[in-house]
Amino acid sequence: MMKPQAPIVIAAAIEQGVQLATAESLTAGMIAARLAEVPGASAVLRGGVVSYSSDVKRELLGVDAKLLEAQGSVDPEVARQMAVGALQACGADLAVSATGVAGPDAHDGKAVGTVYIGWAKGEESGSKVHHFVGDRAQIREQSATAALQQLATILNKASSQ
């Protein structure tokens, strides 16, 4: 069993005075919910956007319409833009996003289990691909865990500088 990341993320964010936000597609709020379960989360969790549809990704998070049309919603640049959009929409310092294919069917030509976790902090942003195995619930769970791990990694890097 992996060490629970949410308490680590919340503690580090409080210590560093970092405000957090999420943008979630396939996880549909699971990342924000995990963060909110931790006592004291209200000090650092600004909010999140559940952007299950491409319209919401475009209209609320500012994801490029041409990119969505050309690549579909399961794409590394879409994940990155989702995180940047959440950062701006929520007035946060650090944001994480998740977009991917939970199954049971492939989506936008991407295989089940293909997930992109995006992040944005200040002027920096990026994304990372994951290939998860399991049923729909397991893939969503693994995606939320990966997003929390991404937050923990960024916060850990910041505290060691």
Does residue 123 surpass a pLDDT of 60?
yes
Does residue 116 surpass a pLDDT of 90?
yes
Global pTM?
A: 0.96
Q: What is the mean pLDDT of residues 3-25?
A: 94
- Predicted local distance difference test score (pLDDT) of residue 158: 83
In order of their start, the domains of the chain are 6-159 (3.90.950.20)
Q: What is the mean pLDDT of residues 44-53?
A: 97
68-95 pLDDT, tens digit each = 999 999 999 999 999 999 999 999 999 9
Q: What percent of the chain has pLDDT over 90?
A: 94
Helix 6-16 vs helix 136-159: crossing angle, to nearest 10? 30
Q: What is the mean pLDDT of residues 40-59?
A: 97
The sign of the torsion formed by the CA atoms of 78, 100, 113, 13 equals positive
Q: What is the mean pLDDT of residues 107-130?
A: 96
- Residue by residue, DSSP assigns 49-104 as EE--SHHHHHHTT---HHHHHHH-SSSHHHHHHHHHHHHHHHT-SEEEEEEE--SS
Q: What is the mean pLDDT of residues 20-35?
A: 98
